[in-house]
Amino acid sequence: MHTVSITPHWTITDDSGQQLSPRLLSLLAEVQEHGSLSGACKHTGASYRHAWNLVRQGQAQLGMPLLNMDRGKGSTLTPLAERLVWAGHRIQARLSPTLESLASELEAELGRVLSAGATGLRVHASHGFAVEKLLEVLAQRGERIDRKYVGSQEGVASLHAGSCDLAGFHVPQGVFEDVALQHYAQWLSPKHSRVIHMATRRQGLFVAHGNPLEIYGVQDLARKGVRFVNRQPSSGTRFLLECCLRQAKVPTSQIAGWELAEFTHAAVAAYVASGMADVGFGVEPPARRFKLDFVPVATERYFFLCRDADLQRPELQAVLEVMRGEAFHAVVNALPGYSAVKCGQVETLQKAFPQMASGRRR
């Protein structure tokens, strides 16, 4: 099996054609993470002298300082360096899912040529954190996975059309469960489909550390001066937020930034953490990663949808084996706001959602 990897890469070039060192951009990110240049050097194994030379070269190229050096207090990033670091975070968060999907497509094409037409399990799911961990474990085991990161609506529609074998989708618990099922209903087939439990998880608001604007619920998104960053229309997360706003009687036309959309939870969190928006909506892990505060709003269940006839396929059995293992449960439970309760359990749609037991769907 051959693995294809595509990663984002960006550069800054001055008028003379000289490029800012990519190593400097990585170093500044480490300074942000570890609080000082010496801490960054300790973590990366680089010498302090080499790191300081990189900083000096960068400052000379840009014509502005990148580090504040305070005796006894270590080093902190200047506003320019902060902008550079957050630009890198946003590039990574925004482009990685697209590039990973493309790499998976190329990997599948290469595999078909090298392995006499062999195909992998086709997984269409959002770029969620438990899903990402599962795909990492499967790749480590040598399982052939053809993945594509899409929103929940597109995922279940792909399975219905026969374009994938596993589709990720999430359904809120409580008052919004019925309306969510109605949203997906045209692509659900209770007679022929099964759901595989992945996790329960919390969705909520991403706000700056300390919540300086005192944003405590979706009603605050419409306040004057509050800047919001959204998810794309086909995402289950945006659908959940729309449900919450309708319940709170908040018109989306009153929310500054409603039309501004990112395609992943991490991209939304990076946007807020960079100071370009005051609040976003998503799952908890990226909020913690970027040192934001998280205001819980709803709990939901994340599932994989599959065809009953495919459950005995070796590729799908391999997925279930991983999902049912204690090691993977520990990985999921370690994600902030996630629980691996029922992870790997297979149920009919009627069992998972008793309100569907009337058999009114195909």
- The string of pLDDT tens digits covering residues 210-234 is 999 999 999 999 999 999 999 998 8
The answer on 170 and 247 residing in a single domain is: yes
Q: What is the pLDDT of residue 184?
A: 94
What is the pLDDT, as a whole number, of residue 119? Answer: 66
Six-digit token string for 220: 């605050």
Helix, strand, coil in percent for the chain, rounding step 5 = 45, 20, 35
Which helix H or strand E contains 195, and what residues bound it?
A: strand 193-207
CATH number at residue 317: 3.40.190.290
Residue 171, in any domain of the structure: yes
pLDDT in the model for residue 360: 46
Residue at 163 is within a domain: yes
Which residues of the chain fall below pLDDT 70? 1, 71-73, 112, 114-119, 358-362
Residues 118 and 266 in one domain: yes
Residue ranges making up the domain that contains 31: 22-77
Domain assignment present for residue 222? The answer is yes
177 and 318 part of one domain: yes
> Same domain, yes or no, for 71 and 93?
no
Q: How many CA atoms lie within 13 A of 337 on its CB side?
A: 25
3-state secondary structure of 303: strand
Contact present, 127 and 152 (Cβ < 8 Å): no
| Domain match, 96 and 65 both | no
**Tell me, what CATH number does 71's domain have?**
1.10.10.10
Q: What pLDDT is attached to residue 72?
A: 63
State the pLDDT at residue 101.
75
CA separation (Å) from 209 to 25, 30, 93, 223? 24, 20, 20, 19
Shared domain for 60 and 124, answered yes or no, is: no
Predicted pLDDT of residue 234? 82
- Residues 89/290, Cβ–Cβ less than 8 Å: yes
Q: What is the pLDDT of residue 75?
A: 80
Specify the pLDDT at position 361: 42
Predicted confidence at residue 221, as pLDDT, reads 98
* AA letter at 362: R
Residues 139 and 71 in one domain: no
Is 264 in contact with 97 (CB distance < 8 Å)?
yes
Residues 241 and 349 in one domain: yes
Residue type, 304: F
Q: Does one domain contain both 189 and 70?
A: no
Does some domain include residue 147? yes
Are 110 and 162 found together in one domain?
yes
Q: How many domains does the chain have?
A: 2
Residues 155 and 46 in one domain: no
Residue 359, sorted as left (phi over 0), alpha (psi -120 to 50) or beta, turns out to be left
Q: Residues 324-362: pLDDT tens digits?
A: 999 999 999 999 999 999 999 999 999 999 988 765 443
Beta strands in the chain (DSSP E): 67-70, 74-77, 121-125, 145-149, 166-172, 193-207, 230-231, 261-262, 279-283, 293-307, 338-339, 346-348
